[in-house]
Structure formats: structure tokens, C-alpha cells
A and B are shown apart, each in its own frame.
Chain A
Amino acid sequence: MKNTSEEYQLQVRGLEVGFNNKKNFTQILNGVSFNVQKGETLCIVGESGCGKSLTSLSIMGLLPESGGIRSGEIRFEGQDLTNQSMKEMSKIRGNEISMIFQEPMTSLNPVHTVGKQIAEAVRIHRNVTKKEAYERVVEMFELVGIPSPRERVHNYPHEMSGGMRQRVMIAMALACNPKLLIADEPTTALDVTIQAQILDLLNELKADLDMSIVMITHDLGVVSEMGDQVLVMYAGEVIEYTDSRSLFDNPKHPYTQGLIESIPKLQGKTEELPVIKGSVPNPDEMPSGCRFSTRCAFAKQECFVQSPEEVGTEDHPVRCWMYSGEWQKMTPFEGGESNDNSSSEAVDRQPIRD
């Protein structure tokens, strides 16, 4: 992975994002970094509230008004997006970088036909007539598998099902052949069969249109289906980053291990699934040490105090004390409610080492 920055489609470095509320600044993203190579899919996984949407909105420059990027850079083909003007960003959005949102039911304007809404996107970025723009919409509808596209362009969003609306959103996002597509949980709001269809569609389109994808999900099934690279986030931090094969074969971070263990397997008895106990800490009450320490079965005393650095190999960095040189010297944790409830599981959940 020794690419220069121009060879990356997207490069995010040390991204810190937060919200201004009543005088103080609540930081949510804490130094998020990753790269997306051309034609590659990067999956971002993590529990609800860990900052996945915030990461994608930062790239698009669409953070809510109270939110802001405090530091870090977001390079798209080498060009930093964080200091672009509104006008320059609007030339990139929908044209070179597109986004599909988490909420297909509410992401389309209810008072305009779907055809009009996509044609609008085409006409902003391409110098075409209304008629040509509509032709493009029909073409896109065919591409994303919307039946009888010529009639469907005249539909209003409420006349379409959730799956169809998400296809419309995909058609809109892809109408200008973007180089990068950000898909924020594009299937979460849809039922399982539709989910699979949409994922297949995205995979097909990625190959056909030669674009990079940032796929946000909290579903590891989606990762195994889509991801070349995987970024695991926890409470606003990247805790593990590698290719999807290594992640499934050799998950390092206890959080990632927990996530993988909690995937239901079809064969085997219906045992109770191991779940990661507890929940993501509140942004205002982040532990001063490792953010996962409060839920970690292996945590030692230092884990609660000092935040781990990124360690591991260049191809597989992980943010956990366990993989640092100091782990052996650290003091085991005794007592404390965060640990005793999972001690029995800890025995058969040994950390896997390189």
C-alpha cells in the first residue's frame, strides 16, 4: 500500500468532527483515517451511533448546521475537500461523488415526480436539454432494474415501494457517472430479499461503471458480500482496518471479534448468540482510556486510563493495547462490574495473535 495520494480516489486523514451545542463542542469523530483506492469498495462497519453517517456526511460536506469539521483532511483525487467553497462543492456533489442515504422513504421530495428529481441532477452537471435529461433517467432506470421505466419516471415517490425508491436513489446517485459512491446503509430500511437485490445491483454497477464505493453498514453480512477493505469503527474511532478476508479470518480487536461471533450461523444448534455486553458510551462521557474498555472482556487496568495507539501491521492496523509491546507488562484488572459479568466467556474468547 505505497500509493501516492493521487492514486487514491479518496484519502481521509485525522478527521475530527463534532457538534456545537450551547457553548461547548462535543467531539464525535476522533481522528478517523482511511483510503479508498480507485475501483475499490471500502466498508465502514460499527454499531449505531458510532459516527458512520457523520463520516460520510463530512466527505459530502453535508454536515448539519451545528456540526463541523474541527481538523483533518479529506482528499478526493488529491484535492482537499474540507476547504472548498459551497459553489465548488456543489460541482463535485452528485457529479464526482454521490451519496445514497439511509432513509429511502424520506429522501425523495414528495411533490415532484422521481423523473424530474433525477433529471434535475443530470441538468445541473451536464449541459443537456430537458428531453435528453429524461432519456438519461430512463436509461438509468433500466440500469437499476426499475420495470417499465418510461412510465415510472412520471411517478411520484409515494407511488413507489421502498425498494423501488432506493433504486431511484441509486439511479439518481449514478446518473452523472460519479467516481465515488457513498452508500450509507442503503438496505437497512428494506426487507431482506430487497436488500440482497440492491447489494447485487451495486456490485454489478461498480464493475460496469468502474467506480469506488464507500459502503456504510452495521451488518457484517454486507461486508462479506461487498467489501474489499473494511474499516471497523467504535465510538467515533477507527479500531481496525484491513481487507475483508483478513478481517473475517483474523479479527484482532475484541470488538471486531465480538461482532463476527454475533453473526448468526445457519448450521449448528440454536445456541444463544454471544453479544457484546453493554452499549456505546455517550459522546459526553467517553472513557479517558480505550473507548471500548468499559465493554471489553480483556481490559487491563491501563486500558481504562490510557488510550491505545494504532498498532499492528501497515496492512492491518488495530487500536488495542493487546497488540502493543506493553500488553504483557500491564496490570490485570480485578473486580469492577464491567468485567465480572463476562468472565466466563473470556475463557473461550482468547485473543487471536498474528
Chain B
Amino acid sequence: MLSFLLRRAGLMIVILFFVSIIVFSLVNVLPGDPALMILGQEATDESLEALREDMGLNDPLVMQYFAWVGDLLQGDFGQSFRDNTEVSSLLAEKIPITLQLTVMSFAIAVLIAIPAGVISATRKGTLWDSSATLFALSGVSLPPFWLGILLIFIFAVTLGWFPPSGYVPITESVAQSLWYMLLPAVALGVRLSAELTRMLRSSLLEVLGSDYIRTGYAKGLLERAVVYGHALRNSILPVITVSALQFAAFLGGTVITEEIFNIPGLGQLLVTSIQTRDFPVLQGAVMFMALAVILINFLTDVLYSILDPRIKLTGGSQ
């Protein structure tokens, strides 16, 4: 276990190093001049030049890179070009919002997918199964933004049950915060739950045909105990893999949903930082997302080894 942790930490540093190079390069090939963005079209050449000098934009790229990484290593993400707020405090403000959205949509997805997957696998060929399959198919083919707009139209505009958009911090009012975020979480969660239902159904069907399931019945277990005690845990591994990938994607990729529901999360921060060429913010956000992906992968591996004792944590990537 310890050697696994050490190796994993080492690997993580290497990956983050490469990611930092890639992020920095990509950001710097973006067309557009941050100084121009800040000062506007009417700015004089001298003031632009002075600002560039001031922001360090005239240094060679390699120097800029090392300055950035050096600061990063000291926990300093730099300041926003726009208003000099600390990138770290911007991230600290936005991450919880997107995290809340992600966690809520995952909760919804799992709450739907596990019963739906179990029912359609254990009642294969029945109306239950067909309904779950239909749900899974339509859910996967519905784009979240479309579902989002539909939800707003039905539940916010027509029925007036939910606010159409906006966000209340969870620290202010838990109930209000959950309420505001429910529609966007559903918009994101439905698609995910459809995907997870499909995966769970097929992997559960496979497991249910295995010899040890028959052993479970042979020792006198009823179907419920067999499915939840013996089959589910064995069939959940592929579902976890997909979930982990999706979770990481959600943390950075809920841009459109955040836009539609006007949620000031990481997605919006990313979009504005690209639009305004706010390099430090953009770099900081992307680095965070890379870190999140790595951590989630790590947690997935740990979870795998807990769920399946045949999998040993020996380090490296699996």
C-alpha cells in the first residue's frame, strides 16, 4: 500500500509537470493580447507596451513558464489580469459551486441508475426492462442543454415550481441552494443515469449468469440477497470506471449547463477567462482540472481494490 502511494505520488508529479507545459503552451498560442483586452481599443501603444512589460508578457516564454511554475510550487496561482484578484481565491469561490452541481447530478444519476439497472437486468425481457432500456436510449441521446431548456420551460416558466436560473450559496441557505440547483442537476444527471443504467444492466446480466450466483441460490438465499449481496458489487466495477471519467469531465465540462442556468461556477470562469485572455485564471483552472482527474483516477484505483480483492494496489497506472 505504501509503495503504491509513493509510486502514485511520483507519477502524479510527473503528469502534472507535463500538463503544466501543455497548459502553458496552449494558453500562450491563443490569439489575442491580454493588454489590449484590459485597456481596450483606444489605448495608446505606449500604455499597452508598459502594461505588457509590467505583466511580464515581454519576457521569453520559457522565463514566463518558469516564473509561473515557480509560483505554483509555492502555492501561488498568480493574479487575474482583469482585476488582480488572487486566482486561488477565485478558484476557491468557483470550485464548490461546480462541485455541488457535479455531486448533485451524480446523486440523481446513481439514484436512478442502480434501481433501473437492477430491475432491467433481473426482470429481463419484461415491460420493466423495455421501459428502462427506452429510458436509457432516450436519455443518452438527449443533449443536456436541450433537456435543460426543456426543464426550464416546463418547471420554471410554465409551472413556476422552480426558479429558472441563478444560484444561492449553500452556506447561505442549504434548502434554497439545493432548490436552485435541482433543475440543472437533473439536466446533467439524466444523461449520466441513462449511460450508467445501460452499463449496469449489461454487466449485471453477465454476473447473474455466473457460477457463484448459482451457489448463492444453492445455499438458500432469496433473489434479493443474491442480487444485492453478491451480484451488484461484482458488476459495479465498469460502472465506476465510467462514473469516474464522467465525474472528472463534469468538474470542468458543465460549461453549457452553467451558462443556461446562469450558475457562476468553474465553467463560467473558464469561458470568461478565455474570452478576456485572462491567462493566470485560465491556467489555474485547467491545472485544477488536471489535478482533479488525477486524484479521481487514484481514488478509482483504491476503490477498485476495495471492491475486488483480486486487484492489488501495486503502483503504476492500471
Q: Taking beta carbons and an 8 Å cutoff, which residues of A are in contact with B?
A: 60, 62, 86-87, 90-95, 98-99, 101, 103, 106-112, 117, 120-121, 124-125, 156, 158, 169, 172
Contacts and interface: CB of A to CB of B under 8 A. Distances in A.
Nearest to A87: B222
A91 B310 CA distance: 32
Interface string B55-66: 000000000000
Given A120-B219, A156-B309, 9 more contacts: A94-B219, A101-B214, A108-B212, A109-B212, A109-B216, A110-B308, A111-B308, A112-B230, A121-B220
A124 B221 contact: yes
7 nearest A-B pairs in the assembled complex, by CB-CB distance: A94-B219, A94-B220, A121-B219, A106-B211, A109-B212, A93-B220, A107-B211
29 contacts: A60-B218, A62-B214, A87-B222, A90-B220, A91-B220, A93-B217, A93-B219, A93-B220, A94-B218, A95-B220, A101-B214, A101-B215, A101-B218, A106-B210, A106-B211, A107-B214, A109-B212, A109-B216, A109-B230, A109-B234, A111-B307, A112-B230, A120-B219, A120-B221, A121-B219, A121-B220, A124-B220, A125-B220, A158-B309
Contacts of B218: 60, 62, 93-94, 98-99, 101
B33 interface: no
Given A156-B309, A156-B310, A108 B222 contact: no
Given A101-B214, A106-B210, A158-B310, A111 B233 contact: yes
Contacts of B234: 109-111
A189 to B, nearest CB: 11
Contacts of A109: 212, 215-216, 230, 234
A117 B215 CA distance: 10
Interface residues of B, number: 21
Given A87-B222, A98-B218, A103 B310 contact: no
A110 B219 contact: no
Interface string B289-318: 000000000000000000111100000000
A198 B218 CA distance: 20
Contacts of A90: 217, 220-222
B76 interface: no
A55 B187 CA distance: 52
A172 B219 contact: yes
Contacts of A120: 219, 221, 229
Residue from B214, B230, B233, B310 with most neighbouring chain A CB atoms (10 Å): B214
Interface of B: 210-212, 214-223, 229-230, 233-234, 307-310
B221 to A, nearest CB: 6
A261 to B, nearest CB: 34
Contacts of B215: 101, 107-109, 117, 169, 172
Nearest to A175: B219
A209 B188 CA distance: 60
Contact of A110 (B214, B217, B221, B309): B309
Contacts of A86: 222-223
A90 B216 CA distance: 10
Contacts of B220: 90-95, 121, 124-125
A121 B221 CA distance: 8
Nearest to A104: B211
A117 B230 CA distance: 10
B233 to A, nearest CB: 6
Nearest to A155: B309
Contacts of B221: 90, 120, 124
Nearest to A61: B217
Contact of A103 (B211, B233, B307): B211
A125 B310 CA distance: 29
A178 to B, nearest CB: 10
Contacts of A93: 217-220
B219 A124 contact: yes
Contacts of A117: 215
